[in-house]
Amino acid sequence: MNIDELKNFEKPPQSYWMASTPETEYPVLNEDLKADIAIIGGGITGVLFAYLLGKEGLKAVVVEADRILQATTGHTTAKITSQHGLIYSKIKNQMGEEFAKQYADANESAIRMIGEIAKENSIECDYVSQSAYVYTLQNEYVNKISDEAKVASSLGIKAVCLDKTPLPFPVKAAVRFDNQAQFHPRKFLLPLAEKIAGSGGQIFEQTRIVNIEEDDGYALITDQGKKITAHRVIIASHYPCYNKTGLYFTRIYSERSYVIAIKAKEKYPGGMYITAEEPGRSLRSQISDDGELILVGGEHHKTGQGADTVKHYEALIDFADKTFTLEDIPYRWSTQDCMTLDGIPYVGHFTSKTPNMYIATGYGKWGMTNSMASAMLLKDLIVNGESPWQDVYNPSRQTIVASAKNFVVENFNVAEKLIEGKISPLPKDIDIKPGEGKIIEANGQRAGAYRDEQGTLHVVDTTCTHMGCELSWNSAEKSWDCPCHGSRFSYEGDVVEGPAVKPLNAHKDVNTIEKLIKDHF
């Protein structure tokens, strides 16, 4: 199969983690409910937190808008590592050695905890110990990598600086972290979800929380008008679904990144890798029923700002083709991550004035260990009243100089995209082929039109229902994406990713638009 054939994406994207595990079928919440602890979000954080609470004899209710463990959790690269790029020298320089030590201890503890949980529950989840590398092909990063190795070692991480790696091409420098791991996230988490539901906890799927009311505790209102009354609430919905306090939409931005799972003629050399510089490239292997897969990731960009998103898959294929002898690409997928202003997640009390509302978000592409660390931290806050890692993850931590600059940059970008979407001229070409989506003018208004493979036209209002930004077409995933806060919608208008909780309005007169297109040509 030649490179052009590999770039012919006839099938929609599919994650290997999703394809190799069964779908879940937990019930929809169809009645009002009272709970001591309610967890919004059934991803890795929500499931791990509910599992840990169950070990303490506390029963939690997990509420998921779609199906559990299939959003970011089902579309990760699944590296269990405390190595998060060149993070430790950055934390030490900007926040101090104590915060760097807390972050290192939290993520090293998370690695060990995942292994212990898998062993304790006899979970077969393709858990494999690996070394993790950050490497560079540029001279300007050599000293940065050397500094990272020194700082990480001083914090108790087994780290070493190298001038070569097992990869089949030379590097300028690399830092290697030992005693790291990789796994199959859904094979690990689905059995834990069953234990939650089997030991008194509850899981509800396809139950979206659209509002939270505060009155002698919290009342979570679902999209079907049902109510969950809880003493404590944990928001683990990736992007916070609650905006009345905290102003998280000004402190978080969403990025998309891409993965291809390839089959190569060569055997993978072992290890997990990521570049220090841009464009980011990530590598690891995975054993499947059909042989070895090599996961090649990278190509990140802000959600809704990736231009022709198919090009990102093509760039990864080009990189893989230069590195290995490509035979096939059985899987490809993309994912969405929340990024914070200083690169450290927000985990703890939602605000300093909400003692019984908590949040876990902003993992910045390192969600496997950060989610485990977050679940452990939140469990400690509830059970013990404190955590040894609470200061570095504190959502109300003092803004540092670097993050203050980022605050201005990111919020200027939001304002720029908001205004740009309102005033940019509408394209004159309104021919829409099967599988194609475009912004068009319909009765003087901006609209989003997509023609499916059967030729049916789908038209929606492209104003995001979160805060009114104008959406962009994502050609790779066939979705309408918000360039301001990362909400995503299907071509029929359904919410795919928050923070939006309401669907897009479908255009009332598709037939008129179809006639307009035909008359135009």
**Residue with the two structure tokens 């795919």:** 496
DSSP type of residue 74: G
Domain assignment of residue 10, yes or no = no
Instruction: Count CB-CB contacts under 10 A for residue 198.
Output: 9
Task: Determine the angle formed by the axes of helices 142-154 and 87-95, rounding to 10 degrees.
Answer: 70
User: Checking phi first, is residue 418 left (phi over 0); if not, alpha (psi -120 to 50) or beta?
Assistant: alpha
Structural domain span for residue 504: 436-520
Helix (H, G, I), strand (E, B) or coil at 293: strand
Q: Which segments of 422-518 are extended strands (E)?
A: 436-442, 445-451, 457-460, 472-474, 479-481, 488-490, 495-497
Domain assignment of residue 447, yes or no = yes
Q: Decide: 290 and 151 in contact? Cβ < 8 Å.
A: no
| pLDDT given at position 313 | 94
At 79, phi and psi to the nearest 5? -95, 125
Q: Decide: 241 and 498 in contact? Cβ < 8 Å.
A: yes
| pLDDT given at position 515 | 59
Domain assignment of residue 443, yes or no = yes
Token pair for 506: 């479908």
Q: Give 394-414 as a DSSP string.
A: -TTPPPPHHHHHHHHHHHHHH
Helix (H, G, I), strand (E, B) or coil at 141: helix
Task: Determine the angle formed by the axes of helices 97-120 and 367-383, rounding to 10 degrees.
Answer: 90
Give the whole-angstrom CA distance, residue 44 versus residue 48.
Answer: 6
Bridge partner residues of 161 (DSSP): 175
Give the whole-angstrom CA distance, residue 259 versus residue 246.
Answer: 33
Number of domains in the chain: 1
| pLDDT given at position 3 | 75
DSSP type of residue 319: H
Instruction: Count CB-CB contacts under 10 A for residue 399.
Output: 14
Q: Decide: 460 and 437 in contact? Cβ < 8 Å.
A: no
- Its pTM stands at 0.89
β-pairing, 291-302 with 281-288?
antiparallel
Domain assignment of residue 473, yes or no = yes
How would you write the pLDDT of the chain (521 residues) with one tens digit per residue? 567 777 777 788 999 999 999 999 999 999 999 999 999 999 999 999 999 999 999 999 999 999 999 999 999 999 999 999 999 999 999 999 999 999 999 999 999 999 999 999 999 999 999 999 999 999 999 999 999 999 999 999 999 999 999 999 999 999 999 999 999 999 999 999 999 988 889 999 999 999 999 878 899 999 999 999 999 999 999 888 776 666 787 788 889 999 999 999 999 999 999 999 999 999 999 999 999 999 999 998 888 776 678 899 999 999 999 999 999 999 999 999 999 989 999 999 999 889 999 999 999 999 999 999 999 999 999 999 999 999 999 999 875 444 555 544 444 344 444 444 444 545 555 678 888 888 887 666 788 888 888 888 888 988 898 878 888 888 888 889 988 888 899 989 999 888 888 899 877 666 655 655 555 54
CATH number at residue 514: 2.102.10.10
Domain assignment of residue 332, yes or no = no
Give the whole-angstrom CA distance, residue 133 versus residue 103.
Answer: 18
The one-letter amino acid at 488: R
Domain assignment of residue 81, yes or no = no
Give the whole-angstrom CA distance, residue 361 versus residue 375.
Answer: 11
Which among 152, 156, 107, 69 is positioned nearest to 376, based on CA atoms? 107
